[in-house]
Amino acid sequence: AQSVTQLDSQVPVFEEAPVELRCNYSSSVSVYLFWYVQYPNQGLQLLLKYLSGSTLVKGINGFEAEFNKSQTSFHLRKPSVHISDTAEYFCAVSDNQGGKLIFGQGTELSVKP
Amino acid sequence: GAVVSQHPSWVICKSGTSVKIECRSLDFQATTMFWYRQFPKQSLMLMATSNEGSKATYEQGVEKDKFLINHASLTLSTLTVTSAHPEDSSFYICSAPSGTASGTQYFGPGTRLTVL
């Protein structure tokens, strides 16, 4: 069975500071990894995804993530955050492209001026 | 990009009544759709996989007789919450894979159900 653990439930950070949101997964088969962002009372928006190839994945809004198979991690990073990045971030895993997603618990990113 | 819509966006109903939520893929066909439930300040939990032309596949612990899923066409899946109770109040979200090798899934905006 697959599972996803997001190690931080809340991450407060000041504007223009770097941020890392941590995600670890477990899976017995090949994995496809995703990061989604959810703004209040809205649906999910895809930030980035890892399907294969380069382990460093760049997404929208300046975010990037690195797939580390040995550490079973897929941490999300941004070198300089903005107030508008305040949202809930979800890491998710699937065992096939377009298959059902298993989500982590979510990390609330709060960017303060 | 592809869009998935949900209707209604929010609904309030009395305990014991049934509520139907629609999920539509607007510019692509989806033989499979997924239904998730999200309680306040919590993650999305997969409820079931909706399959066009066949029965839905429910996750462990989800009552299939309570949450009826019908995948009527290649662009429409419906979730009916039967005999709703206050504990069913939640945010229901559907998604549909793009069907391409991109691995992209498109999420609907969600439906907030409040059962009084």
Q: Which of B41, B43, B113 is the best residue to mutate to test the A interface, defined by the most A CB atoms within 10 Å of its own CB?
A: B43
Report how far residue B116's alpha carbon sits from residue B105's, in angstroms, rounded to the nearest whole number. 33
One DSSP character per residue, B3-67 reads -EEEE-SEEEE-TT--EEEEEEESSS--SEEEEEEE-TTS-EEEEEEEETTS--EEPTT--TTTE
Whole-angstrom Cα Rg for chain B = 13
The fraction of chain A above a pLDDT of 70, given in percent, is 99
CB contact under 8 A, A44 and B93: yes
- Please name the member of A45, A49, A106 whose beta carbon is closest to the beta carbon of B103: A49
- Please name the member of A49, A51, A104 whose beta carbon is closest to the beta carbon of B43: A104
Interface of B with A in 2-21 (CB under 8 A): none
Query: In this model, does residue A73 exceed pLDDT 70?
Result: yes
116 residues of chain B, pLDDT tens digit each: 668 999 999 999 999 999 999 999 998 899 999 999 998 888 899 999 999 988 999 999 999 999 999 998 999 999 999 999 999 999 999 999 887 766 778 999 999 999 99
CB contact under 8 A, B42 and A106: yes
Question: Closest approach of chain B CAs to the CA of A105, in angstroms?
Answer: 5
Tens of pLDDT, residue by residue over A7-51, are 999 999 999 999 999 999 998 777 899 999 998 877 889 999 998
End-to-end CA separation in angstroms for chain B: 37
| Residue B110 forms contact with A (CB below 8 Å) | yes
At A16, which amino acid appears?
E
Beta strands in A27-112 (DSSP E): 32-38, 44-50, 56-58, 64-68, 73-78, 87-94, 102-103, 107-112
Q: Which residues of B touch A60 (CB under 8 A)?
A: none
Question: Closest approach of chain B CAs to the CA of A15, in angstroms?
Answer: 23
Identify the three-state secondary structure at position B50. strand
